[in-house]
């Protein structure tokens, strides 16, 4: 609905996503509560606070849905197929004449039986070498361009480019070991050309990989076409960019039409990049990955330190004087659980038009006292746009 209210303005928004920042208590305090965060706390006192529900109560999101929600999309409506996310996740995009799939290097015996779906968890280096080899040997199948893009360990992405491709295809991955790899079949008659291409390149890959020690074949799953997501430029008349270090987040940002800013790998590199591009964009998505990784590792103390590291730099972000500075998580990753969770995230929004409230720290419990209440993350974008004067009045 807010798309119809879009209004161009000179104001600037910075959205900082501290990945997986929400936590659960150890000895009575969460990671955020245990951290010393004078910078964030000052912003919490100055701004409006609340808690965001990533998707719906109780629903643990992947990074795709949780980020789409923060960018203002209903994550239940805009379900991005896994194959597409994987393509974007390795830093590629999908155009209208392309389809993609995720896949594995695997061990296939001479009878076509998949002995090990992960080829002994191939090293990432070996994966890169084999993708380069395959891409070199199998450049085209008829008029269809073929690219093999390495992921981590045994994972790869297949990208096909050509006329008349269609992703309504079944997997070649048998999803179980000691089974023959499957023939790709068209679920829709319009996908028959694509099925034929996939089957032929699978055979060709077997030939190319013959004699390799670990990976002797590939299996594919989750074929996807270009996701049908309107861009932030179209929806909200924004000129958006992303400052992120990991391919997955650059991918999602690119999916919604953000420019991807080159930056180094450290948080300081990211802040310096932000300072460099601040004047050129009116919506900047700033992604901090480290907090999530510490949570996934179950490392409470490291997560605390990484939160403190961000806090030490937050004043430099504030100093840019964006019209709206919003800071939140995309989901919780409590060290206690070592994985994503459904728990709501602290959210703070600083702007001359933010109503200050009783929250005095940037923590789960303090933000639950905030005036924004506990709300679904998909509303965060409207709140940012509104505080930046980028939304017209609704109705007369």
State the binding string over 288-327 for its own copies (x if CB under 8 A, else -): ----------------------------------------
Distance CA 173, CA 206 (A): 14
Please say which residue, 119 or 354, places its beta carbon nearer to its own copies.
354
Contact 100, 227 (CB under 8 A): no
Distance CA 100, CA 103 (A): 10
Radius of gyration over every alpha carbon of the chain, rounded to an integer in angstroms: 23
Q: Which of 63, 92, 172, 328 binds its own copies (CB under 8 A)?
A: 63
Tell me if 154 contacts its own copies by CB under 8 A.
no
Q: What angle do CA 230, 233, 235 make, to 5 degrees?
A: 55
Residue 293 φ/ψ, nearest 5 degrees = -65, -40
Tokens 């089974």, located at residue: 179
State the binding string over 65-104 for its own copies (x if CB under 8 A, else -): xx--------xx--xx-x--xx------------------
Contact 378, 75 (CB under 8 A): yes
Q: Strand pairing of 98-108 and 113-116? A: antiparallel
Which of positions 343-372 make contact with its own copies (CB under 8 A)? 343-344, 353, 355-358, 364-365, 368-372
Please say which residue, 119 or 385, places its beta carbon nearer to its own copies.
385
Please say which residue, 55 or 160, places its beta carbon nearer to its own copies.
55
Strand partners, 161: 98, 145
Measure the CA dihedral 202/207/209/212, to 10°.
140
Tell me if 342 contacts its own copies by CB under 8 A.
yes
Q: Site for its own copies (CB under 8 A): how many residues?
A: 65
Please say which residue, 61 or 329, places its beta carbon nearer to its own copies.
61
Please say which residue, 53 or 271, places its beta carbon nearer to its own copies.
53
- Applying CB under 8 A, the residues found at the interface with its own copies are 1-2, 5, 24-25, 28, 30, 51, 55-66, 75-76, 79-80, 82, 85-86, 334, 336-337, 339-344, 353, 355-358, 364-365, 368-375, 379, 381-387, 391-396
């Amino acid at each position: 609905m807010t798309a119809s209210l879009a209004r161009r303005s000179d104001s600037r928004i910075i959205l900082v996503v501290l990945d997986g920042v929400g936590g659960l208590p150890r000895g009575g305090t969460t990671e955020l509560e245990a951290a010393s965060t004078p910078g964030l706390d000052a912003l919490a006192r100055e701004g409006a606070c609340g808690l965001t529900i990533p998707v719906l109560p109780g629903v643990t999101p992947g990074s795709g849905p949780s980020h789409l929600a923060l960018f203002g999309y209903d994550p239940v409506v805009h379900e991005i197929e896994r194959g597409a996310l994987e393509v974007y996740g390795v830093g590629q995009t999908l155009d209208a004449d392309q389809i993609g799939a995720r896949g594995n290097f695997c061990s296939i015996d001479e009878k076509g039986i998949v002995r090990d779906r992960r080829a002994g968890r191939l090293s990432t280096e070996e994966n890169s070498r084999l993708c380069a080899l395959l891409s070199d040997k199998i450049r085209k199948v008829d008029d269809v361009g073929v690219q093999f893009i390495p992921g981590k360990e045994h994972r790869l992405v297949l990208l096909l480019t050509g006329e008349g491709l269609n992703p309504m295809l079944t997997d070649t991955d048998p999803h179980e070991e000691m089974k023959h790899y499957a023939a790709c079949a068209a679920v829709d008659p319009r996908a028959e050309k694509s099925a034929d291409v996939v089957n032929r390149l699978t055979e060709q890959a077997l030939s190319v990989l013959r004699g390799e020690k670990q990976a002797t074949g590939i299996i594919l799953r989750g074929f996807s076409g270009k996701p049908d997501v309107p861009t932030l430029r179209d929806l909200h008349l924004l000129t958006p960019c992303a400052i992120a270090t990991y391919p997955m987040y650059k991918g999602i940002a690119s999916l919604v039409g953000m420019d991807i800013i080159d930056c180094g790998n450290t948080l300081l590199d990211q802040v310096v990049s932000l300072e460099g591009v601040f004047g050129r964009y009116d919506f900047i998505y700033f992604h901090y990955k480290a907090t999530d990784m510490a949570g996934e590792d179950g490392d409470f103390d490291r997560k605390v330190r990484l939160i403190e590291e961000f806090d030490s730099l937050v004043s430099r972000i504030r100093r840019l004087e964006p019209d709206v500075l919003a800071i939140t998580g995309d989901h919780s990753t409590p060290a206690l659980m070592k994985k994503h969770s459904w728990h709501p995230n602290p959210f703070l929004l600083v702007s001359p038009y933010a109503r200050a409230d009783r929250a005095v720290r940037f923590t789960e419990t303090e933000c639950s006292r905030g005036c924004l209440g506990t709300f679904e993350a998909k509303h965060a974008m409207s709140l940012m746009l509104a505080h930046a004067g980028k939304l017209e009045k609704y109705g007369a």
